[in-house]
Structures are given as C-alpha cells and as structure tokens.
C-alpha cells in the first residue's frame, strides 16, 4: 500500500482496515495526531486529507485517497503555520493533548473561510474537545491567525 504523508511517499505492509492513526503513529512514527476516544468524537487525531479535516482514529487506511497532512507537515519546512504561531502567541495550550487536532481543524477552517465570524469559529471548533476548556483562547488564536492571513495577503 502507498501512502503520501506530509509530502513523502511511503510503502506500507499493513492491513487496509488498520486505522490511519495507527499507521501514522506505529508504522511511520508520526506522533502529532493523538489517540483520544477512538470513535471520531474528540478530534485529537485530526489530520487533513487533501486539505479536509478527518478523524484518523476511525478511518481505515485502505480508504485514504489523497495526501495526508499531519501537524508535523502543516507549516512550510522549517517554519510554523500561521495558526501554530497564533496558538503560541495566545498561549492556547494547557495540557496540550488536543492541540494538534485543534490546530488542524482551525487551519482547515481558515483555508475554507479566511475571515470567519465568532459563530463560524465556534461551530468549526466545537467538533474538537478540550478538557482544559481553553475555548476562549482558541477563538482568539483563530481570529489572530485570520488577521495574519489577511495581512499576508495585502
């Protein structure tokens, strides 16, 4: 089986039913996506497939069609993505466990809607759970990333 992850092709000898999350973590040693619930509810395992956020814990690798991007491949080589920079600036993370999934969801939101309203942010980000309750900081970081993107575009 072939899988492109973060711009690199990988040849894998795994069962097609194996969840993408286990392929990433156990076969490719990519540990940014986390195991949280195992039933695609919490969002800790969120990755992008061709820019669309998906839950890697419940997606069989045999169903993956497209390029997989994890938190490790989100920014340009050697640089942080604008959302990652905003997360640091706004000190979003407390325990940090859910943050890679949160960041991947926020990046997909901003790619689809570069100027989201508070309601847009809340709707998109409510799909990911944060036990520390950093939702106000998450919203502020998404707004800051949106401003950075609009400033970069002008």
Q: What is the pLDDT of residue 150?
A: 87
Q: Does domain 82-153 bear CATH number 2.30.42.10?
A: no
Sheet holding 8-11, edge to edge: 8-11, 2-5, 68-69, 46-49, 52-55
Residue extent(s) of CATH 1.10.150.120 domains in the chain? 82-153
| Predicted local confidence at residue 154, as pLDDT | 39
3-state SS class at 22: helix
Going by C-alpha positions, the residue among 63, 45, 71 that lies closest to residue 3 is 63
pTM: 0.93
Q: Which residues of the chain have pLDDT under 70?
A: 152-154
- pLDDT, one tens digit per residue, over 19-52 is 999 999 999 999 999 999 999 999 999 999 999 9
Residue pair 34/72 in contact (Cβ under 8 Å)? The answer is: no
User: What's domain 2-73's superfamily in CATH?
Assistant: Beta-grasp domain (3.10.20.30)
Helix/strand/coil (H/E/C) assignment for every residue in 87-147 = HHHCCCCCCCCCHHHHHHHHHHHHHHCCCCCHHHHHHHHCCCCCCCCCHHHHHHHHHHHHH
Structural tokens at position 92: 């979003």
What is the biggest distance separating any 2 CA atoms in the chain, rounded to whole angstroms? 47
Model pLDDT, residue 81: 96
C-alpha–C-alpha distance, residues 112 and 149, integer Å: 12
Buried/exposed 95-121: b ≥16 CB within 10 Å, e otherwise = eebbbbbbbbbbbbbbeeeeebeeeeb
In whole angstroms, give the CA distance from residue 74 to residue 80. Answer: 8
Domain with CATH 3.10.20.30 in the chain: 2-73
């Amino acid at each position: 089986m072939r899988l492109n992850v973060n711009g690199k092709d990988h040849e894998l000898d795994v069962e097609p039913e194996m969840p993408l999350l286990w392929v990433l973590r156990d076969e490719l040693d990519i540990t940014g996506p986390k195991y949280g619930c195992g039933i695609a509810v919490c969002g800790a395992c969120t990755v992008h497939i061709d820019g669309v956020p998906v839950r890697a814990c419940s997606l069989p690798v045999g169903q993956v069609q497209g390029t997989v991007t994890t938190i490790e491949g989100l920014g340009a080589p050697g640089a942080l993505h604008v959302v990652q920079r905003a997360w640091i600036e706004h000190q979003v993370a407390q325990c940090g466990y859910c943050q890679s999934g949160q960041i991947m969801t926020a990046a997909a939101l901003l790619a689809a809607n570069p100027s989201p309203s508070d309601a847009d942010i809340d709707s998109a980000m409510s799909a990911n759970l944060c036990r520390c309750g950093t939702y106000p900081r998450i919203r502020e970081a998404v707004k800051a990333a949106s401003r950075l993107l609009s400033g970069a575009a002008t």
